[in-house]
Amino acid sequence: MNRFDKVIEELVLERFLRYVKIWTTSDRILAREKTPSTERQFDLLNTLEKEMREIGISDIFYNEKGYLIGRIPGNTKAETIGFMAHVDTASDAPGKDVKPQVHKNYDGSVIELNKSLMIDPDEDTDLSLYLGKTVITTDGTTLLGADDKAGVAEIMTAASIIMSSDEIKHGDIELIFTPDEETGCGMDNFPKEILHARACYTMDGGREGELEDECYYAYGADLLFEGIVIHPGSARGKLVNAVTMASSYVSMLPRNESPEATDGRYGNFWAQNISGTLERASVHILLRSFDADDIQRRVKALHSFAAAVEAAFPGGKVYVEVKKQYVNMKEKLDQNPRVMANVEKAFERAAVEPHKVIIRGGTDGSRLTEMGIPTPNIFTGGHNFHSRKEWIAVPAMVKATKVILNLVEIWTE
Ligand SMILES: [Zn+2]
């Protein structure tokens, strides 16, 4: 793919700078009621739909929920694969009026965004990888939106090259753009039936080489505590206080298995919410683990804590309802080893060193994996996501784009 380096660099930079200026901040509260959570996400989606048509893609699905899927017809026999990115940016930092700063020929010094904010290469040590190259930052007042407009720009750049060149052999390719990833609700209305892809890749990771194929097994539990209310004058031996029941339940959760006490491969119990009155109280708890047996152990533990509280509060009732949220994508990826083997080949051909990362969370890719389409997550090249100190280097975007082009070829082999 080296023959395309120069053209990729121009195209991906031009697209990236244009996309980040389009305001697409999503809203975590509104996302519970509607998709997309903010109308402004259509501004980028409409642009992408138009650009797909301009580069010659005519097989396009686009709906009122903000899902945009374009299909490039193959020029040889191969299984359909997809590439996915999200158009929204996180609400953690302002995302309106983004003014990307292009630092050409980066000299290794501290980058001053404004008087009070700087990016220090002693802290952001990856900057040293890009001496003499072009680095893009914010002006210090907003986030940059490389998460995930770098992914969007990389996919669109690869698509435009595939459409304009006969040199690259490929099967059918689906380009998938989604809203509201940052709200956690991005896949709730995903039109899975539209997809033909047998495997997908999200372009939504961070630093160059990052490759994510493992996430949590995630469950959520709702606990309901029922007490017995008696006037305090005659409460002795009769009152069963749901507030006390709920608080004793929460105190049973092992503190050394909380998110604040764990990292790496350790799972946890995470108490999210407690509320109630004498009569009824409720608690919401999240369970997280990388291991299928361990997550079941945690589910069982919630039931045994409930039995212990009932025993300690005669007459009181504890109801436990546990729901699966998402599963570790590794399980499905291991059943389809070609999906990861091909990424590894694609990295190698783009001279990218893979850094496998386990995600202490889930992604849109893990949701898609659960729907039956194995979807690991590939780097975009961005750093310091969701912050005013977000930055990205152009060579990393070029490499990510090359990984996409390599992948489409490798899937035909
Ligand atoms: Zn993202």
Q: Of 265, 294, 326, at which residue does a domain stop?
A: 326
Domain ranges, residue 348: 2-215+328-410
Note whether 20 and 129 are same-domain residues: yes
My answer on whether 232 and 354 are in the same domain is: no
Burial 282-292, CB ≥16 within 10 A → b, else e: ebebbbbbbee
Q: Which two tokens stand for residue 115?
A: 């008087």
Q: Annotated active-site positions, please?
A: 88, 181
Ligand 1 midpoint to CA 137 (Å): 17
Q: Are 386 and 144 in contact (CB under 8 A)?
A: no
Spacing, Cα 410 to ligand 1 middle (Å)? 25
63 and 171 belong to one structural domain: yes
User: Which residue's entry shows tokens 């930079």?
Assistant: 13
CATH of the domain at 60: 3.40.630.10
Q: Which of 326, 354, 376 is the last residue of a domain?
A: 326
159 and 18 inside one domain: yes
Q: Are the C-beta atoms of 394 and 13 separated by less than 8 Å? A: yes
Task: Name the residues around ion ligand 1, CB cutoff 5 A.
Answer: 147-148, 204
Q: How many domains does the chain have?
A: 2
Same domain, 286 and 381: no
**Ligand 1: centre distance to CA 88 (Å):** 8
**Per-residue pLDDT tens digits of the chain, which is 413 residues long:** 567 888 999 999 999 999 999 999 999 999 989 999 999 999 999 999 999 999 999 999 999 999 999 999 999 999 999 999 999 999 999 999 999 999 999 999 999 999 899 999 999 999 999 999 999 999 999 999 999 999 999 999 999 999 998 899 999 999 999 999 999 888 989 999 999 999 999 999 999 999 999 999 999 999 999 999 999 999 999 999 999 999 999 999 999 999 999 999 999 999 999 999 999 999 999 999 999 999 999 999 999 999 999 999 999 999 999 998 888 999 899 999 999 999 999 999 999 999 998 988 777 888 899 889 999 999 999 999 999 999 999 999 999 999 999 999 999 99
Question: And the tokens for 319?
Answer: 């109801």
The structure's pTM equals 0.87
Rg (CA), the chain: 24
Query: Do 345 and 405 fall into the same domain?
Result: yes
Task: Let me know whether 23 and 73 are in one domain.
Answer: yes
3-state secondary structure 73-126: CCCCCCCCEEEEEECCECCCCCCCCCCCEEECCCCCCCEEEECCEEECCCCCHH
203 & 249 share domain: no
